[in-house]
Structures are given as structure tokens and as C-alpha cells.
Amino acid sequence: MKIIVPVKRVVDANIKIRVKPDGSGVELANVKMAMNPFDEIAVEEALRLKEAGKATEIIVVSIGSATCAETIRTALAMGADRGILVKAEGRIEPLAVAKLLKAIVAKEEPGLVILGKQAIDDDSNQTGQMLAALLDWPQGTFASRVAVDGEHVEVTREVDGGLQTVRLALPAVVTTDLRLNEPRYASLPNIMKAKKKPLDETTSEALGVDATPRLEVVATREPSGRQAGIKVASAAELVAKLKTAGVL
Amino acid sequence: MATLLIADHDGAKLGDATAKALTAAALVGHPVDILVAGENVHAIAEAAARLDGVAKVLVADGATLANLLAEPLAELVVGLADRYAVIAAPASSAMKNALPRVAAKLDVMQISEVTAVVAPDTFERPIYAGNAIETVRSREPKLVMTIRGAAFTATASGDASAPIEAITAPGASAASQFLGADLTTSTRPELGSARIIVSGGRALGSAEKFDAVLAPLADKLGAAVGASRAAVDSGYAPNDLQVGQTGKVVAPELYIALGISGAIQHLAGMKDSKIIVAVNKDPDAPIFQIADYGLEEDLFTAVPAMLEALK
Ligand SMILES: Cc1cc2nc3c(=O)[nH]c(=O)nc-3n(C[C@H](O)[C@H](O)[C@H](O)COP(=O)(O)OP(=O)(O)OC[C@H]3O[C@@H](n4cnc5c(N)ncnc54)[C@H](O)[C@@H]3O)c2cc1C
Ligand SMILES: Nc1ncnc2c1ncn2[C@@H]1O[C@H](COP(=O)(O)O)[C@@H](O)[C@H]1O
């Protein structure tokens, strides 16, 4: 069974972004980029399935500018087998990403697609569910445990009230939550090896997908800020202040 | 045309999230119908029908909908979509799971986590963990959106009841099957609707200490309990208590952060709280930059002292 893992290149989770003064978007020039953290978890899970003999090949896909090749190389250095870069400029919305992934799934015929539950830049939390819909596959989102047995996958999901477990017939779509695993670091020899692994390039035109955005971003602004308040000297003073403020 | 709002519920009662989402849905301007899907959900449907301003309640009652799995729920909603210009739902885990499936089937781009209705086709939503707010306008033939409860006040309920209409539940999906659930049981208020939240971080050190320190304070204040990702990852608290960018987003009257540093991902889930209190022994902890009241002290002495002062 092949596994496809879509990986998105995003601003590093440790960076606090700034909104451009003219409100035209978020400042991305000279900002440190990294693989979306949920996608690292997805790559790790695919690697573990391969190591357990449940998968044969792991293909990572990234959609975006040429620099996304770096993100693919990171996944290859972790241990994925090959990469596909879908070159696209500008804003690519989850629906377009899902359509592009569907076209790749049609060619590669994987048994599983494992995505992150959410990209930490657009915070959409849509792509995996949309891909499952377009393929008419079952979905196991927000996974904290994934177990493949034969023709099925059992997915334990993090939900509002706790945990829920579903059993899906393969092929299926899974999206990762934070507690699924701890991604490995790529070792130096593996980083060197990754440079020789195959990385194909394609485009939305070649895949026959219209990736034009459906939503227009009218403006981007800073959130209304919060001022630091005061320091109190003791727990007793804190309680007194909260009583005065009327919340206790 | 009209708006279809999908109700979120836990199988027993209609959550606050639906009443909050209704407030946003009503701002779009069309009459709002509410869909209640589930098994044995008539009491929930009746509660939905009493929400102010609801035009009609549709009830789909059947075993296939019992756990609100995405596959049958999306099938049901797609079947109703012709009649509606807007399909909305609270941004709960069940709806975040199902609604993008609906959107893709309708070939529509979803707007996630709406925090403000600017115009009937224009909305605000946070991106980058709430460090930027985007205004997006949809040119889609239909609007599909999830609504962030923390950004809206709940619509009130009254004695008047909207008509309730039963509709057919979809058949079972062979491809997806519910195996079981492990739900946290608690007598405390829910995070999403609590007036006060007491939240603990990595500093609590163990599940035992997390409970020993937070429970008496939460009980005294009638508060819900929350946690940082570090506390959940370390097993001090269950996953459904995580507050933040990728957990629950809350905006209570009072949020008390105990031993939480204030990473941007955590702030994303609580910075719209009315009053924020931080107890942290590091004077440089970023949480102090947004706290209304900061107490620089070891939480293991500060919390008992707070309880003493509350007597
Ligand atoms: C993709 C991604 C998603 C994430 N999503 C979330 C999310 O949804 N929610 C979330 O919370 N985090 C999230 N995080 C994690 C986030 O970046 C932080 O790592 C996390 O919030 C830190 O938790 P903490 O504040 O409990 O721990 P720490 O950062 O370790 O802070 C512990 C604090 O306790 C203080 N302390 C220690 N001992 C005491 C004591 N005895 N008394 C008083 N104070 C004490 C310390 O001074 C310190 O400030 C996410 C991260 C990533 C990469
Ligand atoms: N441009 C992209 N390239 C590759 N994968 C993507 C891209 N955008 C989204 N994804 C995948 O979809 C997941 C969810 O993204 P989103 O729906 O945007 O929150 C991510 O964690 C990735 O696995």
C-alpha cells in the first residue's frame, strides 16, 4: 500500500508574524519557514506504518512556489521515498489543494492519504475533509491513534468531549492531531541521502485543475490588542481586585 | 432563500454553541432553519425550536446519525442544500469534521471560524493563531461557513416555538463505522459556556497535582477547567481540555492561567477573555503581557492562598 502525505510550507510556528502596514496581507519576506507541524506528524505516522510493514512507499506532495521543494526534502530526509511538487503561485485555497491532491491520488492509487488537521497559517482545517469528499472516501480526522489492519484502518479521534474511535474501509483519508506521535529529526546522513531521492514537478494545468481562489481577501488587519494590566503582590490582593472588578 | 444552521449537540442537550452560531447566522439576513441530526433528538429539536427568531426546525432522527459521523451528516446536508443560500454550523469538532465535506461536495470553498459578519457575503476570520484578522468576501453561489462561538453572544430562548418538521435520515455508510467513544465526564461547566475558567500548564508537574491544585479552586468558583498543550501532552489533563489555536477557543468573563507561559498558540484560544489572571513565577513570562492581573508567585503557594482569601 502506498501512502500519500501532503506537506505545506508555512511560517515557522515559533515566529510571531506581522501584518503589512497597508493591510494587504502578512509579511512573508525573509521570514523563517518550516513544514506545517501537523504535517511532520503525518510524515512520522506514515513512516511508522512503513516500518511496521503496513505500507510500501511514502510519497510527499507539496503545492506552492518552487521553495516548497525544501519542505519536500525535509520529509524525504525523515524517510519518505519520493516527492511531488505541484508548482503554483499565489493563494491556493483548501478546495483547490483538495482537487490537486485528488488528481494525484488518481495516478498513484494510494491506500491512505495522511494530512495535517490544520495548516497553522490559514487555520482552515478543511483540506483532508474536502479530499475525502471529492474521492468519496471515508475520513478519520484529528487522529491521536491510527491502526491499519488488512483492509481497514481504526482511527481514534480527538473530539470535543474526549475521544472517539471509528473504523474505516481503505482507501481512506486521515488527518493528524498533536498527540498522534512525536516526529523524528532527520539525521545528517539521511539529509544527504534525501538529495538523491526522486522529486517530480507538475502544475495545476498539467493536472487539469482550476486553482483560482473562490474567496477574495479584502483586507488583513492586526487583532485588537490587549494591554498588560497590573502586577499584584499577593493572592489576597488578587482576590480583592477580582471582587472589585465584579467577576467574583 | 434561507439559511440552514446545523445544530451541534452531545446527544442529550443542545449546546450553547448552536445559540451563539444562530446569532451570527441571523446577521447574514435570511430566515434561519435549524437542522437537528442525531438519534432520539426530539428534546434537542424542541430546544432548538424555542430559540428566538428560528423559522423552522428540521429533525433527522436515525441510528446512522447517532454519533454525527461526517459521512452520513454530509450526505444529509448535501441533500438539503438546494433549498438554502447559506449553510452554517458552529465550529465544534463534529462540524469542523463534517462541513468541509459538505462544501467540497457542493464545489464551494468554506469560510472557517467566522468571528464577525461584515456584510451578507463578507466575513472576518482569524489566521496565524489569531495574530491577523482577515476579511474575506465570497463570490460563491452558496456560502458554507463555521462560526466561532467565542465571538458571539448566544441567542435567547423564549416560549414561542418554531414548527418542527421530520426529515429522513440517510442510510448507513459501509465505509465508516463508529466503534466507541471515551468521553470525559465532569460535573463542571463546559469550557465553551463557562463564566470562569481555571487553566493549568506544564508547571503542574503531574496529573495528580493538576487535579489537586485546580479542582478545589474550580469547585469554589464554579469554573470550568482548561489546560495548555504541554499539560495535555504530558498526560496531566485530557485532550478535550486543551485551550488554544488547535484546541478550544474560549472567551469567559474570567480566565485564570496557572503555570502557563503564554505561547502564541495558547493565547490564540483565550486572549478574548474579559479578564485574564496569570500566576507564574517567571517575571518575564509572556502571559503577563496580556494579563489584567499578574501574580508573580509559585502557584503551589498562590492557589491555596487564593482559596483562603475566598473563604
Ligand atoms: C502546531 C502547534 C499547535 C499548538 N497548539 C497549542 C494549543 O492549542 N494550546 C496550547 O496551549 N499550546 C499549543 N501549542 C504549544 C505552545 O507552543 C506551548 O508549547 C505550550 O502552550 C506551552 O505550555 P505551558 O505554558 O503549559 O508550558 P511552558 O511553556 O513550559 O510554561 C510553563 C510555565 O510555568 C511556569 N512555572 C513553572 N513552575 C511554576 C510554579 N511552581 N509556579 C508558577 N509558575 C511556574 C514557568 O515559568 C513557565 O512560564 C502548539 C504548538 C504547536 C507547534
Ligand atoms: N499547499 C499545500 N500543499 C500541501 N499540502 C497542503 C497544502 N495546503 C494544505 N495542505 C494539507 O492540508 C492540511 C490542512 O490544511 P488546511 O485545510 O489549510 O488547514 C495540511 O496540514 C496539509 O497536510
Look up residue B37 and give its three cell numbers: 441530526
Domain count, chain A: 1
Q: Give dist(CA A163, CA A181) in Å, integer.
A: 16
Same domain, B233 and B159: no
Q: Output phi, psi for B303, to 5 deg.
A: -70, -45
For residue B33 the three cell numbers come to 432553519
Distances (CA, A) of B55 to A13, A217, B26, B36, B163: 44, 32, 11, 14, 7
Determine the angle formed by the axes of helices A94-108 and A127-135, rounding to 10 degrees.
50
User: Measured between CB atoms, which of B127, B175, B293 is closest to A168?
Assistant: B175
Nearest C-alpha to atom 12 of ligand 2 is from which residue? Answer: A127
Same domain, B77 and B42: yes
Answer whether residue B247 is part of any domain. Answer: yes
Residue with cell 483519508: A173
Mean pLDDT value across residues B95-105: 98
Distance A118 CA to ligand 2 centre (A): 7
Q: Which residues of B touch A180 (CB under 8 A)?
A: none
In a mutational test of the B interface, the residue from A92, A100, A105, A123 whose CB has the highest number of chain B CBs within 10 Å is A123
Q: What is the CATH number of the domain that holds B257?
A: 3.40.50.1220
**How many domains are contained in chain B?**
2
Whether B204 is covered by a domain: the verdict is: yes
Residue B174 domain-assigned (yes or no): no
Q: What is the separation of C-alpha A152 from the centre of its chain, rounded to a whole number of angstroms?
A: 23
- Predicted local confidence at residue B255, as pLDDT: 98
Contact B65, B7 (CB under 8 A): no
The whole-number average pLDDT for the span B74-103 is 98
**pLDDT one-digit tens code per residue, A17-37:** 999 999 999 999 999 999 999
C-alpha cell at A205: 494545468
CB contact under 8 A, A121 and B128: yes
Percentage with pLDDT > 90 across chain B: 97
Query: Are both B144 and B275 inside the same structural domain?
Result: no
Quick one: what percent of chain A has pLDDT higher than 90?
Answer: 98
Buried b or exposed e, range A3-38, using 16+ CB within 10 angstroms: bbbbbbbbbebeeebebeeeeeebeeeeeeebbbbb
Contacts of A178 (CB under 8 A, 6+ apart): A37, A38, A41, B229, B232, B233, B246
pLDDT in tens, chain A (248 residues): 999 999 999 999 999 999 999 999 999 999 999 999 999 999 999 999 999 999 999 999 999 999 999 999 999 999 999 999 999 999 999 999 999 999 999 999 999 999 999 999 999 999 999 999 999 999 999 999 999 999 999 999 999 999 999 999 999 999 999 999 999 999 999 999 999 999 999 999 999 999 999 999 999 999 998 999 999 999 999 999 999 999 99
Question: Nine-digit cell at B273?
Answer: 477573555
Minimal CA–CA distance to B25: which of B44, B39, B12, B7?
B7
My answer on whether B139 and B205 are in the same domain is no
- Nearest chain B residue to A225 by CA distance is B290
B276 and B148 within one domain: no
CATH number at residue A28: 3.40.50.620
pLDDT at residue B98 tops 90: yes
* pLDDT over threshold 90, residue B174: no
Q: Is A129 in the pocket of ligand 2 (CB under 6 A)?
A: no
Q: Is A176 in the pocket of ligand 2 (CB under 6 A)?
A: no
User: For residue B15, what pLDDT is reported?
Assistant: 85
**Domain extent for A148:** 2-244
Question: CA of B63 to nearest chain A CA: how many angstroms apart?
Answer: 15
Domain range for B232 is 191-309
CB contact under 8 A, A13 and B67: no
Indicate whether B128 and B247 sit together in one domain: no
Q: Do B293 and A230 touch (CB under 8 A)?
A: yes
What pLDDT, on a 0 to 100 scale, did the predictor assign at position B233? 98
Verify that B163 and B224 share a domain, yes or no.
no
The verdict on B11 and B127 lying in the same domain is yes
ipTM: 0.98
Report pLDDT digits (tens) over B253-269. 999 999 999 999 999 99
Q: Is the pLDDT of residue B172 over 90?
A: no
Q: Phi, psi at residue A18, to the nearest 5°?
A: -125, 145
User: What integer pLDDT is reported at residue B129 of this predicted model?
Assistant: 96
Q: Tell me, what's the pLDDT at B173?
A: 84
Mean pLDDT, residues B148-163: 97
Quote the percentage of chain B above a pLDDT of 70.
100
Q: Which of B240, B302, B308 is opposite residue A161, by nearest beta carbon? A: B240
Same domain for B162 and B59: yes
Q: In A, which residues are within 8 Å of B309 by CB distance?
A: 235-236, 238-240
Atom 26 of ligand 1: nearest residue by CA position: B201
Residues within a 6 A CB radius of ligand 1: A 13, 37, 120; B 201-203, 228-231, 242-247, 259-261, 263, 265-266, 269, 279-282, 285, 298-300
pLDDT at B126 exceeding the cut of 90: yes
User: Min CA distance, B304 vs chain A (Å)?
Assistant: 9
pLDDT at B185 over 90: no
> A137-177 pLDDT, tens per residue?
999 999 999 999 999 999 999 999 999 999 999 999 999 99
Laid out side by side, the sheet with B196-200 consists of A230-232, B293-295, B275-279, B254-258, B196-200, B224-227
Q: Is B118 left (phi over 0), alpha (psi -120 to 50) or beta?
A: alpha
> Is B181 within the bounds of a domain?
no
Domain end, chosen from B167, B183, B206, is at B167
Residues B124 and B12 in one domain: yes
Tell me the shortest Cα–Cα distance from A196 to chain B, in angstroms: 34
Task: For chains A and B, count residue pairs whose Cβ atoms are closer than 8 Å.
Answer: 260
Q: What is the CATH number of the domain that holds B60?
A: 3.40.50.620
